Amino acid sequence: MSTLQDFLNANPVDNLTDEVYISERFKDKDGNPFLFKIRAMTNREFNDIRKRATKIKGRKAEFDAEAFNKAIVIEHTIVPDFKNVESLKSLGCATPDQYLERVLLSGEVVELASQIQKLSGFDTEMETLVEEAKN
């Protein structure tokens, strides 16, 4: 008889991946969709990215949703590799952030970040995450 403990032991969350479709723009010449391979965030990774995207100004904490989304996408997208040195060089980019801005539209970054968050167990709207980060 299987128990919840047995299930958890057999299904660790490290290296949990999925392939997702994020935009009509990503299709080959025959109309077949290109899929992005993503991996879930661990608790530690999520907290690290959230802290990096939160800046303290005086007594106020400001959450930078754009920096948060970019970091999630860059660090949790397996294919394509937004850190690929050859790709960065080919488009004249010095950083993965610059490369991401050159190859994805703003809405595509948000959609990809959203898919990564869903895979990571977040069904919460970004506004809720922003409020949590402020507290």
Closest Cα partner for 83 from 70, 72, 99?
99
Q: 101-134: per-residue pLDDT in tens?
A: 999 999 999 999 999 999 999 875 555 555 555 5
Q: 39-69: per-residue pLDDT in tens?
A: 999 999 999 999 999 998 888 989 999 999 9
Residue 96 DSSP one-character state = H
Only one residue has tokens 């970054």, namely 109
CB 82 within 8 A of CB 38: no
Instruction: Show the CA angle centred on residue 123, arms to residues 117 and 129, nearest 5°.
Output: 70
What residues does 77 pair with on adjacent strands? Answer: 38
- Percentage above 70 pLDDT, the chain: 90
What average pLDDT does the chain have? 90
Closest Cα partner for 133 from 45, 18, 55, 59?
55
Q: What's the average model confidence in pLDDT over 62-86?
A: 97
For the CA atoms of 135, 76, 126, 12, what is the dihedral angle to 10 degrees? Answer: -70
pLDDT over 70 at 135, yes or no = no
